[in-house]
Amino acid sequence: MGRRLPYTPNAKIKAALRQLFLRSRERAAAMKRDKYCCVRCGVKKSVAKGREVKCEVHHRSGVLNWQPIYELIRKYLLNESDMETLCESCHKKETEKQLTSKDNSVE
C-alpha cells in the first residue's frame, strides 16, 4: 500500500462528483425529458428480466477538462488554510454573519 497523500486525491474528488451527478435532479430531469429513451436510436430503458436495457445521460460537450474543476474545489472547498474548527453553535453564528454580510454587499 502506498503512502497516504496530505491532500484529497483527484480520483476521490471525481468519484464524489460522479455520485452527485448520478443522484442529481438535473440528470433525472434529462432522463424524464427524453422519456427514458435513447435520443439516437430510440431504444427505451427497461428493467424487465431478460430484456434489461440501460440508458445513460451523456454530456454533449463532454467533461474533459477535469483539472480546473479539481483546482477550484481545492481552492474554495478543500483549502485547509481557510478552515477552522468551531462548535455547532459558533459555526451557525459565523455562517449567518457571512450570509448577512454577503446579502448587504450585493445591494
107 pLDDT above the threshold of 60: no
12 pLDDT above the threshold of 70: yes
d(CA 27, CA 45): 15
How distant, in Å, are the alpha carbons of 22, 23, 66, 81 from that of 19? 5, 6, 15, 27
Please indicate, yes or no, whether the overall pTM of this predicted structure exceeds 0.85: no
Give the 3-state secondary structure of residue 65: coil
Joined grid coordinates for residue 27: 440528470
Averaged over 37-46, what is the pLDDT?
94
Q: Share the mean pLDDT of the chain.
A: 91
